[in-house]
Chains A and B, each alone.
Chain A
Amino acid sequence: MNDNLIVVLLASAIVYGTPLLYAALGETLTERSGVLNLGLEGMMLMGAVSGFWLVQIFDGPAWLVLTVAVVVAALAGTATALIHAVLVVSLRANQIVSGIAITIFAGVIGLSSYLGTLGRVGGVPTKHHFRPLNLFGLKDTPILGPIFFNHHALVYLSWVFVILCNWYLYRTSLGLRLRSVGDSPETADAAGINVTRYRYVHTLIGGALAGIGGSVFSLAIALNWLDGMTAGAGWIAIALVIFGFWRPSLVMVGAYLFGGLSGLGFTLQTRQVRLPPELFAALPYLVAIVVLTVVSSSWARRRAAAPAALGEPYVRES
């Protein structure tokens, strides 16, 4: 029964959805502060290559190496996000072009590829990788087992992050201030809240989470490094934030939905379903367009909780 198509699909949804979830969570926090970060793809790739590189050159017990690798991946994402933060928060540059610049700078023929070549890690299999953990020993429980209890540590960590983000946003004073910064920076400023600092911090956190999401690709899914291996995951993550109405719990649902779509192709192929693989590969992107259109239509927009100041540089008027 645990071999059943639905079960396998759901399990793979979580597997492939996890990197999306990390990046989307990070972007949610960033956008809640009013900053649009389109450089997620680049940050994920930086995280992927950095984490991978570290695993190859660092000696030690697997658990230590992998932990340090994740930290390094997060730092790589943060450093990349710093560029974006300086440009758009301090220099008031156009947030859209800056994000694209980061994607070019750090992306498939950019810094991540450069680092990959430098470290000679292209195409090489990883020394250590995240293996599925048998959580509470429940791996073999009917249906729920393979879906929830047979994943690697980063998946479980992502669940912790979702809970943390939710609590942070809605149950702490810091989260309240964050929401005010993104919705009405003038008001936040007048209330003595440091808009610049909030925007910096949350952009950097977004970068860190994106970096971790990238490392999921290289250290848990594909187990190697290739130029541009995220294949647009960063962009889908940005769309996910909109689908999720900037709420961590909904974002998680969306991430798994798209993870499922990505996994669909592989799974069906192993079941001898004969359709061009490109059709399945295209599915996530096409579905993203459709869902985005539905969500943006006017009835949904009235309920949507987009931070009102998203994308606008904050200029303190007298």
Chain B
Amino acid sequence: MVGTSARPESAPGGPGVSVHGITKRFPGVLAIDHIDFEVRLGEVHALLGENGAGKSTLSNIIAGLYRPDEGVMQVFGREVGFQSPREALDSGIGMVHQHFKLVPALTVAENVVLGHENAGRFFHLRKRDIFSRVAALSREHNLAVDPAARVWQLSVGEQQRVELLKALYRDVRILILDEPTAVLTPREAETLFETIRGMADSGRAIIFISHKLDEVVAVADRITVLRDGRNIATVRARDTDTLSLARMMVGRDIPPASKPLASVVPDDSAVIIELAGIDADGDRGSPALHGISLTVREGEIVGIAGVAGNGQRELAEVIAGLRTPTSGMVSIRGHDLVARTPQEAIAQGVAYVPDDRLGTGLAPNVTVAENLVLKSYSQSPFSSGPFLRHRNVDSHGRDLVERFDIRGSRHDAPVRLLSGGNIQKVLLAREISSKPTALIAGSPTRGLDFGAIQSVRSLLIDIATSGVAILLISEDLDEIFALSDRIGVLHGGRLMGMATTGATTVEEIGLWMAGVSG
């Protein structure tokens, strides 16, 4: 363990971190507005709010990544002003980010000790010593992971455990977890909650950032709700419920968009997407999909649940023509896709909103207008012969920006300048305006704020009603249940089951997600 001697002793229940009047501005936006916030040792304190409410900013300040413009911070009763995350770490504050900071090529043990290797003479690395220390730590806190495994070989849940080990190794007393369950199955989330409880019981303080209401109620002792950069309220978990929390979080009552169960898709509507016995390999050459067979009918929304990494992306890519299956057939409206190219899928009316928005779906430094014709640039009116008709690309871009209310930049500016929600609007604008027959949507509302989430969901429902077959791939179970007519689960590349939404429960889906079939 590192640096225990450097920190003042503090008793459980005693002060952990407290901030007063913290304000933080970025150009053009007031991220945090005079917030008071405090966390005690021995408690799990949830920081709740929608995207953009200021949760991450506040935590980054506590963790030393940002410096506040105003306000004071106290740790264990002493006033501090961190100049770097390293200083925060030395004071016992650590953070596990949503995007893990791990070195893929190194082993678990090496990642855990990186920066605090306790090297011997001449910087000699005591490998066996490190290995056993990490193994002991993982046993002690019930975080099962092989210290000798290389990080790139681990699943996302296991990688998260490595991050937790890192924090424990550095003897972090105040741990901040940023949306930790976003990448976990319900079962893994349960295990995480137990671990968190254990850590709190041993005298640590845990700050749990989330936008998921029921989780927060389940795991936290106290909950602080942020909205628009302000601390709305701090309540005890047992004194509140999800409905009041939602109201506090959003500030108003918004009926969540969901597909009216009454509009059941008739059995005789045309089958639009059909997969039969699809096998496919992943990027590393190992099989990613096994024997996938499913259908999506006209006007139907089929939701595919499952934690990322179980074949979702590969499934979407197979249908969109970006990945050639090793066996099986994909057909759209009865036409078999034989050429297995993106052009063929596009020609058959397949639209694909990938979950990797700026990487796959859009070219970040290309303008909005040009991105909007990324698939259709070679057809008239955008081209005549080999020549590109800039004027038509331009007016088309302007038109779509207006129609879909895309804000934040001009249509002839690079698309990367837009915020997350607007980037998603660009993607949807392009895909929807191409009048598709089938739409595959990968994590369409991830990272968006509440208002944007609802409008995207309404949009999906609308186009489904107009007859488009939608395959919705999402890790957000609430979304899957709200929008889908039928739900399937991908686990380890296999379809674990397909059920009508009304006939199944979160528990059953959770079991499928964990690989338990039946």
User: A and B: partners?
Assistant: yes
Q: Which residues of A approach B to under 8 Å, CB–CB? A: 171-177, 179-180, 183-184, 186-188, 190-193, 298-299, 302, 305, 307-308, 318
Residues in A with CB closer than 8 Å to B114 are 176-177, 180, 187-188, 191, 193
Query: Interface-forming stretch among B102-110, B287-295, B460-468?
Result: B102-110
Interface residues on B, range: 20 to 34
With an 8 A cutoff between CB atoms, is B124 at the interface? yes
B124–A171 CB distance below 8 A: yes
Checking A173, A190, A299 against B119 with a beta-carbon cut-off of 8 angstroms, the contacting residue is A173
Q: Judging by beta carbons under 8 Å apart, are A190 and B85 in contact?
A: yes
Q: Which residues of B contact A171 (CB under 8 A)?
A: 124-125, 127
State A193–B123 Cα separation when bound (angstroms).
15
A residues less than 8 Å from B86 (CB atoms): 192
Once bound together, how far apart are the Cα atoms of A274 and B67, in whole Å? 74
Distance, CA A186 to CA B106, complexed state (A): 14
Q: Does the CB pair B125–A172 fall under 8 Å? A: yes
Contact of B125 with A173 in the complex, beta carbons under 8 Å:
yes
Q: Are B125 and A176 in contact (CB under 8 A)?
A: yes
Contact A180 B103 (CB under 8 A): yes
Expressed in whole angstroms, the Cα–Cα distance for A292 and B140 within the complex equals: 47
Given A180-B114, A193-B115, decide whether A188 and B103 contact each other with a Cβ distance below 8 A.
Answer: yes
Q: Is the interface of B mostly helix, strand, loop or mixed?
A: loop
Asked if A176 and B105 sit within 8 Å, CB to CB, the answer is no
Q: Which residues, 50 to 102 on B, are CB-close (under 8 Å) to A?
A: 60, 65-66, 84-86, 89, 101-102
Instruction: Check B115 against A192 for contact (C-beta < 8 Å).
Output: yes
Q: Which residues of A have CB within 8 Å of B103?
A: 179-180, 183-184, 187-188
* A contact residues around B122 at 8 Å (CB): 172
Q: Can you sample 24 A-B contacts with CB below 8 Å? A: A172-B119, A172-B123, A172-B125, A173-B125, A174-B123, A175-B123, A175-B125, A176-B117, A179-B103, A179-B105, A180-B103, A183-B103, A183-B104, A184-B103, A186-B101, A187-B114, A188-B103, A192-B84, A192-B86, A192-B89, A192-B115, A298-B285, A318-B60, A318-B65
Contacts of B102 on A, CB cut-off 8 Å?
A: 184, 187
A-chain residues with CB within 8 Å of residue B124 when the two chains form the complex? 171-173
A201 to chain B, nearest CB (A): 14
Q: Which residues of A contact B125 (CB under 8 A)?
A: 171-173, 175-176
A-side contacts of B89, CB under 8 Å: 192
Q: Which of B66, B115, B122, B124 has the most CB of A within 10 A?
A: B115
Cα–Cα, bound, A171→B127 (Å): 8
Q: Do the beta carbons of B284 and A302 come within 8 Å of each other? A: yes
Instruction: Find the A residue at minimum CB distance from B285.
Output: A302
Give the shortest distance, in Å, between A77 (CB) and chain B (any CB): 25
Contact between A308 and B105 (Cβ–Cβ < 8 Å)? yes
Q: Could you tell me if A177 and B115 are in contact, using CB atoms closer than 8 angstroms?
A: yes
B82 to chain A, nearest CB (A): 13
Hey, which chain A residues are within 8 Å of B110, CB to CB? 176
A310 CB to nearest B CB, Å: 12
Contact between A180 and B119, CB atoms less than 8 A apart: no
Report which of A176, A190, A299, A318 forms a contact with B106, defined as CB distance below 8 A: A176
Closest to A299 in B: B285
From A172, A174, A308, B104 is in contact (CB under 8 Å) with: A308
**Contact code string B158-178 (vs A, CB < 8 Å = 1, else 0):** 000000000000000000000
Per the bound structure, the CA–CA distance linking A288 and B389 in Å amounts to 45
Q: Are A190 and B101 in contact (CB under 8 A)?
A: yes
Q: How far is the CB of B506 from chain A (nearest CB, A)?
A: 35
Contact of A173 among B66, B106, B111, B123 (CB under 8 A): B123
Interface-centre pick from A180, A298, A299 (highest chain B CB count, 10 A): A180
B240-278 at interface with A (beta carbon < 8 Å): none
CB distance from B280 to the nearest CB of A (A): 16
Could you tell me the distance in whole angstroms from the C-beta of A316 to the nearest C-beta in chain B?
Answer: 10
Query: How far apart are the CA atoms of A172 and B117 in the complex, in Å?
Result: 9
Q: Nearest residue in B to A182 (C-beta to C-beta)?
A: B105
The 8 A-B residue pairs with the shortest CB-CB distance, nearest first, are A191-B115, A173-B119, A173-B117, A172-B123, A187-B101, A192-B86, A184-B103, A180-B103
Given contacts A179-B103, A183-B105, 13 further A-B contacts (CB under 8 A): A171-B125, A172-B119, A172-B125, A179-B105, A180-B103, A180-B114, A184-B101, A187-B114, A188-B114, A192-B85, A193-B114, A308-B104, A308-B105
Q: What is the CA–CA distance of A192 and B3 in the complex, to the nearest angstrom?
A: 15
Contacts of B105 in A (CB 8 A): 179, 183, 305, 307-308
Q: Which residue of A lies closest to B127 (CB)?
A: A171
Cα distance A192–B125 in the bound complex, in angstroms: 18
How far, in angstroms, from A74 to B363 measured CA to CA in the complex? Answer: 44
CA distance A188 to B115 in the complex (A): 8
Closest to B66 in A: A318
For residue A298, which residues in chain B have a CB less than 8 angstroms away from its CB? Answer: 285
* Chain B nearest CB, measured from A289 CB (Å): 25
Distance A193 CA – B124 CA, assembled complex (angstroms): 17
Closest residue of B by beta carbon distance from A191: B115
Q: Give the distance to chain A from B58, nearest Cβ to Cβ, in Å.
A: 14
Residues of B within 8 A of A299 (CB): 285
Mark B349-372 against chain A: 1 for CB-CB distance below 8 A, else 0. 000000000000000000000000
A175–B117 alpha-carbon span in the complex (Å): 11
Contacts of B66 in A (CB 8 A): 318
Shortest distance between the CB of B56 and any CB in chain A (Å): 10
Chain B nearest CB from A193 CB (Å) reads: 6
Which B residues touch A174, using CB under 8 A? 123
* Minimum C-beta distance from A255 to chain B (A): 24
Chain A residues near B127 (CB, 8 Å)? 171
Task: Give the shortest distance, in Å, between A32 (CB) and chain B (any CB).
Answer: 11
Looking at B65, B104, B114, B124, which has the most chain A CB atoms within 10 Å of its CB? Answer: B114
Closest to A174 in B: B123
With a CB–CB cut-off of 8 A, which chain B residues contact A176? 106, 110, 114, 117, 125
How far does the alpha carbon of A38 sit from the alpha carbon of B122 in the complex, in Å? 31
Measured between beta carbons, the chain A residues less than 8 angstroms from B117 are: 173, 176
B285 contacts which chain A residues (CB < 8 A)?
298-299, 302
Q: Chain B 118-162, CB within 8 Å of chain A: the 1/0 string?
A: 010011110100000000000000000000000000000000000
By a CB distance below 8 angstroms, the chain A residues around B111 are 187
Chain B residues, Cβ within 8 Å of A179 = 103, 105-106
CA A177 to CA B66, docked complex, whole Å:
24
Measured between alpha carbons, how far is A305 from B65 in the docked complex, in Å? 31
In the bound complex, residues from chain A placing their C-beta under 8 Å from that of B104 are 183-184, 308
Report the separation of the CA atoms of residues A306 and B231 in the bound assembly, to the nearest whole angstrom: 46
Closest chain B CB from A246 CB (angstroms): 10
Closest residue of chain B to A192, judged by CB? B86
CB distance from A314 to the nearest CB of B (A): 13
- State in angstroms the CA–CA spacing of A186 and B101 once bound together: 7
B110 to chain A, nearest CB (A): 6
Among residues of B, the one whose C-beta sits closest to the C-beta of A306 is B105
CB-defined contacts of A192 to chain B, threshold 8 Å: 84-86, 89, 115
Q: In the bound complex, how far is the Cα of B285 from the Cα of A302, in angstroms?
A: 9
Cβ contacts under 8 Å, A184 to chain B: 101-104
CA–CA, A77 to B101, complex, Å?
35
A180: chain B residues within 8 A (beta carbon) = 103, 106, 114
Measured CB to CB, the closest approach of chain A to B91, in angstroms, equals: 14
**CA separation between A302 and B283, bound complex, in Å?**
10
